[in-house]
A and B are shown apart, each in its own frame.
Chain A
Amino acid sequence: MARMKFLCDAERCIECNGCVTACKNEHEVPWGVNRRRVITLGDGEIGEKSISVACMHCTDAPCAAVCPVDCFYTTDEGIVLHDKDLCIGCGYCFYACPFGAPQYPQQDAFGVRGKMDKCTFCAGGPVADNSPEETEKYGRNRIAEGKLPLCAEMCSTKALIAGDGDMVSDIYRERILKRGGRPQTWGWETAYNKTS
């Protein structure tokens, strides 16, 4: 059985935010909620680097460990999903998650946040595949249709790749071999003939 993985190649990501837009459009997530985001280090400086971050579908998922209502489950493909009917919006998964993946639609005066929303690897939730209820609560279920997450499919530079972990690592390994492993022969410096 395949184990689904995301991988963002920081040497390819150009911070176009195409993945963010693709996700938001595909799943019609509420205002203020972004299941994926691009972060740039050294923005505007020479050598800036970006990566696209969303739920990484952890093996020993911290969110699942701290959830007081135990609403997370891992699918056979290794995708971490949650049940919005059980979620109480406590925010604990957000405190525990290493990647800031859980999002909340609101923040009221008494700390009410609404049901947590996060990246589903385009695999919906615990209700019937692609039922109106699933689309409403969790977004589209592309995995059930045999498709991969839209963010990766849309990525213009193929920096973001998603799919079976073995295939993802094969693709990445091939890239690394082409680039060479030496730290001084990578990325933009190589592209623009800077010798170091």
Chain B
Amino acid sequence: MIKEHSKMQTKGRGRLRAMTWSVLFIVISAMVLPTASYLISSDTAFAQVSNDENQRANFWRAVRQGAVGYSAVSGVESGVFINNGGQNWRQMRNGIIATYGGWSVIGAPISILVFYLIRGKIRVGAKKSGLTVPRWQTWERIMHWYTAVLFVILAITGLSLLFGRVVLIPVLGAKGFSLWASLSINTHNVVGPFFSIGVFAMLLFWIKNNIPNATDIKWLTSGGGIIGNTHSSAGKANGGEKIWYWIVILVGLLAVCGTGLALIGWVAQWGIGDSTRATMQYMYQIHAIAAIIWIIVFFGHVYIGTIGTEGVLQGMITGRVSTEWAKQHHDLWYEDVKDQAEQVQSNLPSGTETHNLTN
């Protein structure tokens, strides 16, 4: 019995040992065998083909990476095989810029209209005395309207080029839109530089009105009179006007006018940068995105300057604003100009009898 038992025990132990070894063998093989391919491969002709020798692959890799070769044909980047930025540019322009840009340009006026319906026009609170103070000189108004008219022309022609294919071809037909698009691009390219001069003039002549200061912060934190009914203090330009001014300078002059001049090849002619496709693709994207931002903010500017606030437009047309308006919107500035208050029929600039009521 005992002998029988120990025999069975030995048999069982032997099986256990065999099993352990087999499992170990499998595990080790599973880990070691795949690495063995390194040993084998380093010895074959296949593995000896390094990248240096694989000329076919090297050639096409270089081609694909936009390598520049020699070409007997002269022309813009005629030695470049593949223009790699093209597909990105296509996707940016036809995708992100056209989609988000398009909806923003439609959405902005709608939101402004909704805001107007809720908020209504900001009126001049005090009773009108008929006294006015000079706000904008003649040259300032000329500068403003010159730039404004050109802005509208550029916005319409620019938007036509980006969205015309979707929006205008169904309306005008292929031939009709082609004529309009041709007129648009030529107008856009010629008007652009003249417009840039106007914006540059604003940078020079209006910067002194638009240096940010502590009053602006207070103006902004109190909602600037647009939200709520508080009348915050402001100098000649309030916080909101200063923001608009700096958007015009930074987004407008730098990002839109600068890239625009690059796109018609002027910047490269001045010796800055080049006119390669990569440059043009980047310039185009900055130009389009910044221009759409500018157009959206422009809608806000137009709203505040016309139906949004009483008396603003009159200032930019006649150059004079009522003393009540000045006190309400630009109290600090009013202190400076109240000496010049006159009884002027501001909408009849000349030939009207005026009484000097300076006190």
Contact = CB atoms under 8 A, between A and B. Distances in A.
Contact of B161 (A70, A87, A90): A90
B242 interface: no
Contact of A39 (B54, B69, B277): B69
Interface of chain A: mostly helix, strand, loop or mixed = loop
A162 B193 CA distance: 46
Contacts of A107: 265
B57 interface: yes
Interface in A1-33: 10-11, 15, 17, 20, 32
Contacts of B122: none
B99 to A, nearest CB: 14
Interface string B273-301: 00001001100100000000000000000
Interface residues of A, number: 54
A95 B86 contact: yes
B69 A40 contact: yes
A43 B70 contact: yes
A88 B277 contact: no
Contact of B86 (A20, A42, A68, A96): A96
A65 interface: yes
A67 B93 CA distance: 11
A146 interface: no
B171 interface: no
A70 B174 contact: yes
Given A38-B72, A98-B83, A110 B264 contact: yes
B79 to A, nearest CB: 6
Contacts, number: 147
A10 B177 CA distance: 43
B178 A41 contact: no
Given A95-B280, A184-B53, A103 B178 contact: no
Contact of A20 (B72, B85, B190): B72
Residue of A62, A89, A103 contacting most chain B CB atoms (<10 Å): A62
Nearest to A33: B75
Contact of A110 (B162, B164, B190): B190
B294 to A, nearest CB: 20
Nearest to B161: A68
A87 B182 CA distance: 8
A110 B189 contact: yes
A86 B175 contact: yes
Q: A-B pairs with the 10 shortest C-beta distances?
A: A111-B264, A37-B73, A43-B70, A86-B178, A41-B69, A39-B69, A183-B54, A88-B182, A110-B189, A34-B73
